[in-house]
Chains A and B, each alone.
Chain A
Amino acid sequence: MANLNLTLKVWRQLNAEDHGRIETYEARDISDEASFLEMLDIVNERILEDGGEPIHFDHDCREGICGMCSLTINGIPHGKDRGITVCQLHMRTFKDGDIIWIEPFRSRAFPILRDLMVDRTALDRIVAAGGYIDIRTGAAQDANNLPVEKDKAEAAFEAAACIGCGACVASCKNSSAMLFVSAKAAHLNYLPQGAPEKQKRTLSMVRQMDEEGFGNCTNQYECEAVCPKEISADNIAKLNRDYALSSIKEAVS
């Protein structure tokens, strides 16, 4: 165990109307056993004791599953470690004397609410447009009446592991939400339960995505690199195929 002295460069912005700015904080004597968010807690306690307003950031479960935390650390959403959210990032991955830049997830589709908190409800609206299987409560048949091939079930699971954090969008130079949308579409499109609505789902989710102001995908795979759940960019290829097929079917029907 060792303690670290760090310099933080943090984006501060009171609300959507405010002009934001980077402010500097010295984070002294931070245990390397602490998590990154606990480091921010310590800094915030000290800011409060000095009469200031704490740095606001989104967080909740602090175990990498709720998708709430959303910091860009030294330019990389969720930081440089692979396969984790910010709340799973630990201070032992930093060195004494490091300067750490902390910014919000950046995208036009994610307006800033305060400091490091952004509005990601655009992602919910994409799901509302078609990211579901329409089955009334109580209408289901026995779960084992519909066997699903294990590899398809696994592929659906891998896509369903998405936690909707939006790091894919924040990492993309075009602010594309294709990894998020393709993961949701693949989860449901792989499964036999999802087949009847596949065409409708694919078209309406993609159209909603465009309406929300997300950019296009230009195959740079930054999204895959930062995804805390390591969702594969292969889903994007699948979505492009499903979309092309669905568009043709729609045009000729």
Chain B
Amino acid sequence: MLNSNIPSGPIEQKWTNHKFDSKLINPANKRKFKVIVVGSGLAGGAAASTLAELGYQVSCFCYQDSPRRAHSIAAQGGINAAKNYRNDGDSIQRLFYDTVKGGDFRSREANVYRLAEVSNAIIDQATAQGVPFAREYGGLLDNRSFGGAQVSRTFYARGQTGQQLLIGVYQALEKEIGRGGVTMHTRSEMLDLVTVEGHAKGIIVRDMVTGEITSHAADAVILATGGYGNAFFLSTNAMGCNVMAAYRAHKRGACFANPCYTQIHPTCIPVSGDYQSKLTLMSESLRNDGRIWVPKNADDCKKNPSDIPEADRDYYLERKYPSFGNLAPRDIASRAAKEACDDGRGVGPSGLGVYLDFHDATQRLGQETISARYGNLFQMYGKITGEDPYQTPMRIYPAVHYTMGGLWVDYNLMSNVPGLHVLGEANFSDHGANRLGASALMQGLADGYFVIPATIAPYLASQTPGSVTTEHAEFKKVEEEVRERVGRLININGKRTVDSFHRELGHLLWDKCGMARDKAGLEEALDRIPGIREEFWENVRIPGSGNNVNAELEKAGRVADFLEFAELLCHDAHDRKESCGGHFRTEYQFTEKSPEVKAGKTQPGEAKRDDKNFSYVAAWEFKGVGKKPKLHKEPLEYEAVKQTIRSYA
């Protein structure tokens, strides 16, 4: 069922050979093909504009009021590339290796190599578009360091790299909209995928202003709809981020891969109360200069941090991981923070927080330099907490941030449903079990600018353009199903709000399938989720009609899908009886007795992979609501790198 279509040959030549071997479509024929792109972030926007430049007719959809507001915009820290402008020993090979290792040897090698290979062209493209990356006095581009790497390969635009890259994408997209190459549909939400004879041929969309439900046909469909972090209710995702498009595609046959690989980001502002609607990320770049610590003694936790002497502080990342220190990868830094707090040494009113301290860096570099590097982040922190991080250390705690899992795709970024392509965070392919910082922007843009424009051609070349229209019976059928579902939601007229269900589900997932998971907890979650879902369908209240803006209706549709998706997430976590990257099963960790620990290769409490039994992509096939999905395995074969214990000591 799953053919990854990895090209043959040495890893350095796969992408070049594959492009040469793939069918092309001549320029005169390209304009006959229609492509739908759902999502207008880095991946979707880049794909839509580039495909339109090539001559395809593109329709692009987003739920926001403008394509410029996709959540890629919130990425702060930077974007990696193997330019080696610093002469510090970087190369495509090293970026590839760091990314595979960072992903805890659970990603597909060939995809990651391609990602590293096209990374440099992304920087060139963005710079040519006018993306104002940080520069040095000589006028050339500056770099900073990021977690999981010992070279400085991260390009950045202060703390708003995502916004600047997305504006570059948005401008390219608006250029094509102005030229007529892209038809843009804003405030439009995809509610279902339409397949005809097994091929993805269109989508059903709700206009979020008028409530009108319409069908859209195309020769191929691209989903670039982001991740599912909001299943946890509280996350760093935007309020509107959701799994609907990907999950609808899953219900129409697309396999969902590795959903249990969720990234908990170590540096977020701690939760302050139960009214909280979202969590705010503080960029990982802060770990370049900030030092993370907790008091050595639990009794000191409520003291003013400046009253705790140096000798009584535990800089636990520097202590445990001397070569990477505060720049240990995200999953490791998050778990270390959890351990410190579980040990009773957390700080702040809730006890769920650790310090991120800029005192030493300010002494060394001066406040002006710190402000130039992180000014907007410090301002953001100050506004939210009412504290001044120049004076008192920030308090941070891990939060759900990114999801490595996603729809299964082959080397061409096509799912197992022919014609359905999936880009960016919405697919599973490049980050394995953990994503390194500054790699999401790289992957989104690689997929959109450079991969899909080449890899969609072989599929389109096999199709007759315009062969399916919205007059096809399948469109009528799916459109009717969508109307029925919307009507059903509105007519429940129960007593509880959508958010109350979402919050209940989120708390359950965070407790049982969050930073640490175990068999019993996952089974409890699997036991409880169906009950929440049933109550939702009997007792949710959605006021108003479907014919106006109706925020509760929009949220209800998304939460309804999270309530099904959550089970898939827990099934995958339950089934993967090992720890790797963002998936930490407490039963599978190194202990003091482990031979690897005795040999000094790792430390107690680190994630213990089981390469013999779990070196595969878990791709799940939908088998009905409430039924266990069917597992398909794509074996992961490592030819260029050797699977080793992932050590940052």
| Smallest CB separation, A114 vs chain B (Å) | 4
**Is A92's CB under 8 angstroms from B549's CB?**
no
- What is the chain B residue whose CB lies nearest that of A49? B497
**Is B240's CB under 8 angstroms from A60's CB?**
yes
Judge whether B457 is part of the interface by a CB distance below 8 angstroms: no
**Is B135's CB under 8 angstroms from A153's CB?**
yes
A64-B380, A120-B65 as given contacts; A42 in contact with B167, CB under 8 Å: no
Residues of chain A within 8 A of B83, CB atoms compared: 143-144
Residues of chain A within 8 A of B20, CB atoms compared: none
| Smallest CB separation, B582 vs chain A (Å) | 22
Judge whether A128 is part of the interface by a CB distance below 8 angstroms: yes
User: Please, how many angstroms separate the alpha-carbon atoms of A92 and B385 in the complex?
Assistant: 10
Judge whether A160 is part of the interface by a CB distance below 8 angstroms: yes
User: Please, how many angstroms separate the alpha-carbon atoms of A25 and B300 in the complex?
Assistant: 44
User: Please, how many angstroms separate the alpha-carbon atoms of A128 and B125 in the complex?
Assistant: 19
A60-B240, A66-B74, A143-B141 as given contacts; A137 in contact with B543, CB under 8 Å: no
- What is the chain B residue whose CB lies nearest that of A153? B135
User: Please, how many angstroms separate the alpha-carbon atoms of A140 and B127 in the complex?
Assistant: 8
The number of chain A residues touching the other chain, given as a range, is: 35 or more
**Is B548's CB under 8 angstroms from A194's CB?**
no
**Is A68's CB under 8 angstroms from B64's CB?**
yes
Residues of chain A within 8 A of B141, CB atoms compared: 143-144
A95-145: which residues lie under 8 A (CB-CB) from chain B? Answer: 113-114, 117, 119-121, 123-124, 127-129, 131-144
- What is the chain A residue whose CB lies nearest that of B63? A60
Residues of chain B within 8 A of A68, CB atoms compared: 64-65, 69
Task: Select A56's contact among B177, B383, B497, B549, beta carbons within 8 Å.
Answer: B549
| Smallest CB separation, B612 vs chain A (Å) | 43
**Is A133's CB under 8 angstroms from B129's CB?**
yes
Task: Select A164's contact among B50, B66, B139, B499, beta carbons within 8 Å.
Answer: B66
Task: Select B552's contact among A54, A147, A157, beta carbons within 8 Å.
Answer: A54
Residues of chain B within 8 A of A37, CB atoms compared: 277
User: Please, how many angstroms separate the alpha-carbon atoms of A203 and B303 in the complex?
Assistant: 60
**Is B138's CB under 8 angstroms from A147's CB?**
yes
Task: Select B277's contact among A41, A53, A124, beta carbons within 8 Å.
Answer: A41
Task: Select B124's contact among A48, A56, A143, A194, beta carbons within 8 Å.
Answer: A143
A137-177: which residues lie under 8 A (CB-CB) from chain B? Answer: 137-144, 146-150, 153, 156-157, 160-161, 163-164
Judge whether A217 is part of the interface by a CB distance below 8 angstroms: no
**Is A60's CB under 8 angstroms from B238's CB?**
yes
Spot the interface stretch: B156-164, B317-325, B395-403: B156-164
Which of A121, A128, A139 has its CB near the most chain B CB atoms (within 10 A)? A128
User: Please, how many angstroms separate the alpha-carbon atoms of A67 and B64 in the complex?
Assistant: 10
Judge whether B518 is part of the interface by a CB distance below 8 angstroms: no
Judge whether A193 is part of the interface by a CB distance below 8 angstroms: yes
Residues of chain A within 8 A of B22, CB atoms compared: none
User: Please, how many angstroms separate the alpha-carbon atoms of A92 and B242 in the complex?
Assistant: 31
Judge whether B71 is part of the interface by a CB distance below 8 angstroms: yes
User: Please, how many angstroms separate the alpha-carbon atoms of A58 and B500 in the complex?
Assistant: 20
**Is A138's CB under 8 angstroms from B73's CB?**
no
| Smallest CB separation, A129 vs chain B (Å) | 6
User: Please, how many angstroms separate the alpha-carbon atoms of A62 and B276 in the complex?
Assistant: 11
Judge whether B598 is part of the interface by a CB distance below 8 angstroms: no
A41-72: which residues lie under 8 A (CB-CB) from chain B? Answer: 41-42, 45, 48-49, 51-54, 56, 58-68
**Is A128's CB under 8 angstroms from B177's CB?**
yes
**Is B135's CB under 8 angstroms from A150's CB?**
yes
Residues of chain A within 8 A of B449, CB atoms compared: 137-138
Judge whether A75 is part of the interface by a CB distance below 8 angstroms: no
**Is B273's CB under 8 angstroms from A132's CB?**
no
**Is A61's CB under 8 angstroms from B73's CB?**
yes
Judge whether B130 is part of the interface by a CB distance below 8 angstroms: yes
Spot the interface stretch: A4-12, A83-91, A236-244: A83-91
- What is the chain B residue whose CB lies nearest that of A34? B275
**Is A41's CB under 8 angstroms from B135's CB?**
no
Residues of chain B within 8 A of A41, CB atoms compared: 275, 277, 499
**Is A45's CB under 8 angstroms from B132's CB?**
no
Judge whether A73 is part of the interface by a CB distance below 8 angstroms: no
Judge whether B626 is part of the interface by a CB distance below 8 angstroms: no
User: Please, how many angstroms separate the alpha-carbon atoms of A240 and B178 in the complex?
Assistant: 24
| Smallest CB separation, B17 vs chain A (Å) | 19
Residues of chain B within 8 A of A140, CB atoms compared: 121, 124-125, 127-128
User: Please, how many angstroms separate the alpha-carbon atoms of A124 and B187 in the complex?
Assistant: 13
Judge whether A26 is part of the interface by a CB distance below 8 angstroms: no
**Is A113's CB under 8 angstroms from B209's CB?**
yes
**Is A129's CB under 8 angstroms from B178's CB?**
yes
Residues of chain A within 8 A of B162, CB atoms compared: 65
Judge whether A233 is part of the interface by a CB distance below 8 angstroms: no
**Is B541's CB under 8 angstroms from A48's CB?**
yes
Task: Select A150's contact among B73, B137, B497, beta carbons within 8 Å.
Answer: B137
| Smallest CB separation, A150 vs chain B (Å) | 5
Judge whether A188 is part of the interface by a CB distance below 8 angstroms: yes
**Is B71's CB under 8 angstroms from A61's CB?**
yes
Residues of chain B within 8 A of A35, CB atoms compared: 277, 384
Residues of chain B within 8 A of A150, CB atoms compared: 135-137, 139
Residues of chain A within 8 A of B277, CB atoms compared: 35, 37-38, 41, 62
User: Please, how many angstroms separate the alpha-carbon atoms of A90 and B276 in the complex?
Assistant: 12
A49-B497, A58-B65, A124-B174 as given contacts; A138 in contact with B450, CB under 8 Å: yes
Judge whether A31 is part of the interface by a CB distance below 8 angstroms: yes
The interface bits of chain B over 265-280 (1 if a CB of A lies within 8 angstroms of the residue's CB, else 0) are: 0000000110111101
**Is A137's CB under 8 angstroms from B53's CB?**
yes
User: Please, how many angstroms separate the alpha-carbon atoms of A187 and B541 in the complex?
Assistant: 47
**Is A157's CB under 8 angstroms from B158's CB?**
yes
**Is B128's CB under 8 angstroms from A193's CB?**
yes
| Smallest CB separation, B604 vs chain A (Å) | 37
Task: Select B543's contact among A48, A65, A117, A193, beta carbons within 8 Å.
Answer: A48
Judge whether B414 is part of the interface by a CB distance below 8 angstroms: no
**Is B66's CB under 8 angstroms from A62's CB?**
no
Task: Select A63's contact among B74, B178, B497, beta carbons within 8 Å.
Answer: B74
**Is B66's CB under 8 angstroms from A124's CB?**
yes
5 A-B pairs closest in CB distance: A147-B139, A128-B178, A132-B171, A140-B128, A143-B127
10 residue pairs A–B, Cβ–Cβ below 8 Å: A31-B273, A48-B543, A52-B543, A63-B74, A88-B380, A123-B66, A139-B128, A150-B135, A160-B164, A163-B163
* Residues of B that sit less than 8 Å from A by CB: 46, 49-50, 53, 64-69, 71, 73-74, 83, 85, 121, 123-130, 132-141, 157-158, 160, 162-164, 167, 170-172, 174-175, 177-178, 184, 186, 209, 238-240, 272-273, 275-278, 280-281, 379-380, 383-384, 386, 449-450, 453, 497, 499-500, 541, 543-544, 548-549, 551-552
